[in-house]
Amino acid sequence: MSNDAGRFDRQNDQKRDDQRQRKPLDPMNETGQQNQPPQWVRVLNVLLLAFVIFYLIELVSQSGSPEITYNEFKERVTAGQVAEVTIEGHQVTGTMSAAGDSDDPTGRQMFRTHIPEVGDTRIVELLEQNGVTITAKESGPDVLSRLMVSFLPWLIILGLIIFFWQRMQRQMGGQQSGGLFNMGKSKAKRFSRDEPGKTFNDIAGADNAKKDLTEIVDYLKNPAFYQRLGAKLPRGLLMVGPPGTGKTLMARAVAGEAAVPFFSISGSEFIEMFVGVGASRVRNMFEEARKESPSIIFIDELDAIGRSRGAGVGGGHDEREQTLNQILSEMDGFSPHETVVVIAATNRPDVLDPALLRPGRFDRKVTLDRPHRQAREKILEIHTKAMPLGDDVDLAAVSRRTVGFAGADLENLANEAALFAGRDDSKVVCMRHFDMARDKVLMGGKREQNLSDEEKRVIAFHESGHALTALLFPKADPLEKVTIIPRGRALGMTEQAPDEDRLNMSASYARDRIAVMLGGRASEQLIFNEVSSGAENDIEQATKLARRMIARWGMSEVIGPMSVSSSQEEVFLGHEISRERDFSEATAEKVDDEVRKLITGIEKEVNKRLEENRDQLERLANTLFEEETLEASDIDSLLDIEVRRDS
């Protein structure tokens, strides 16, 4: 494996050397934008340069007139060598007469001088006696002041324009896309082949998905080989799975394995308030990907722009549909030699437009399910690799108790365990930290709740009813823990952990699940002769499961193997309005009657078994009231073992 890795690195180095020889250095930073100062900085630099040039011109114009002393000035006036003067405050400028030119050793015609601060009232009389033309001006500001007065209003106006311009660009997203007139540029983040990325070795589980993606990786590594065989590169690949199962991570791993440029963007980033911006960004993104082919385009949350067209009332032609049309057009426009693969991820494949799923577009689908027990253990090993684990930590046991956890949930579990270890000032992460983290992930954090002894007693019997019912009904999931400590929105919790991952649900198992849900309410009715509002969620979940059994799974002799599903789960208003009801009111009433009979029949059986084991129920509830939390081992030692096997 090390030899293959070394050969793969040398191939990458050779590719990079070839690219450096073919292409000049690209003055782009890691975000894909040029290293240029903002627009307001460039405008300010231009204004400062103009200010300096104007100031230098004024200085040069003044330096052209030689300065003479005041005494010399009076002597030249008396000698008749001055033709005209301009008096402005204490400054006097003028020109020599023709007679004075011949006597002037420097040959300069212009001159300037300053009148003393005290002032000389006889200078005007002297000038008039010698026939000098006099021009008087009011004293004004100096050169710098005149420049400030001239330029300051324009600077303020331009500054306000630039400020509001930049603010409008930020609000409209123009700053990331290069300005208001560059809003059509793609916002896709580019990850080059030189950057270290994820590989399949960094992802545990999902072995079937890896096998499906290996073909794409091989094609991107050696497209000429497949083209010589007449094979065509798959245009699009759609990854489907629940949230947190690693769809985005898997796409990054494909790019890392193939060592090709990777363009990543979310579906919502195409849409702006201006019509046509999304389509323009799609064109720009595909154009950039073609320039660097072979490459990968990854569109996360494809359902944001790929929903069925014309689903709304009236079927409007909006910005989202234009963006979708452009994506469809671009995927059809690939030439055979353009090795660009489009990978998309969504957890709602049922809402996608059929045109996206036809052959030639996203015709290849990769399903990422929640990991099974062995996969969860491998995922935990990856996320705990950098953690100092205690000797009592059993990741296999943790994986058995985390049925239904996705990869993101397991990562969060490991992180929460490390945080709990930090709070305990522990040098290692112990098994109890994983137990505490699991309780927090499943039930939420503990909350302060001042409950009276009477309320705690009701909650204790309610949770004990759930726990004892789980022991009395043989098909129910094994009991894990019971607590009356308020967590999240719940005042108490009964945890069950199945022995294995269930992908199918039998009728007997579903009935026993409903029995456990109704156990808390039945316990309250038995002990206190009344029920409380604490069974609201239990009744809701039991009703949903019973309705699925009757209306969808054919577990009723009266309804039979017939689907009687309603349109409540329709995603679009247009589809819901246009959908016709495929069953009658009489059938709907029969479904309601069967659901009621199923739930009430199970409730009677639960009441009977709890009444037969009332002493066990009271013993469990009283102990739970005192201890507040009981593990499965504590409950087994507290109750008779025969109770668990009673059917």
3-state secondary structure of 429: strand
Q: Identify whether the C-beta of residue 298 lies closer than 8 Å to the C-beta of residue 261.
A: no
Q: Identify whether the C-beta of residue 136 lies closer than 8 Å to the C-beta of residue 147.
A: no
CA distances from 268 to 187, 278, 303, 319, 573 (A): 11, 9, 9, 12, 21
What span, in angstroms and rounded, lies between the C-alpha atoms of 6 and 13? 11
The one-letter code for the residue type at 642 is E
**248 labelled ligand-binding:** yes
E strand residue ranges, 273-355: 295-300, 340-346
CA distances from 626 to 620, 621, 623, 632 (A): 10, 9, 5, 16
Tokens of 493: 């919790």
**560 labelled ligand-binding:** no
What span, in angstroms and rounded, lies between the C-alpha atoms of 167 and 373? 52
Q: Nearest-5° angle of CA 139, CA 143, CA 144?
A: 120
Tokens of 621: 């509830």
Choosing from 301, 319, 411, 463, the catalytic residue is 463
Which bin fits 283, alpha (ψ -120 to 50), beta or left (φ > 0)?
alpha
Q: Identify whether the C-beta of residue 516 lies closer than 8 Å to the C-beta of residue 469.
A: yes
Please give the radius of gyration of the chain, using alpha carbons only, rounded to the nearest integer: 42
**312 labelled ligand-binding:** no
**105 labelled ligand-binding:** no
Q: Identify whether the C-beta of residue 639 lies closer than 8 Å to the C-beta of residue 623.
A: no
**241 labelled ligand-binding:** yes
Beta carbons within 8 Å of 428's beta carbon, 6+ residues apart: 388, 389, 390, 421
**242 labelled ligand-binding:** yes
Beta carbons within 8 Å of 418's beta carbon, 6+ residues apart: 387, 429, 433
What span, in angstroms and rounded, lies between the C-alpha atoms of 196 and 207? 23
E strand residue ranges, 3-132: 82-88, 91-96, 110-114
What span, in angstroms and rounded, lies between the C-alpha atoms of 365 and 286? 21
Tokens of 412: 């969060």
Which residue reads 């722009």 in tokens?
A: 305
Catalytic residue flag (residue 463): yes
**247 labelled ligand-binding:** yes
The one-letter code for the residue type at 505 is M
**246 labelled ligand-binding:** yes
Residues identified as active-site: 463
Binding-site positions read 241-248, 462, 466, 538
Binding-site positions for Zn(2+) read 462, 466, 538
Binding-site positions for ATP read 241-248
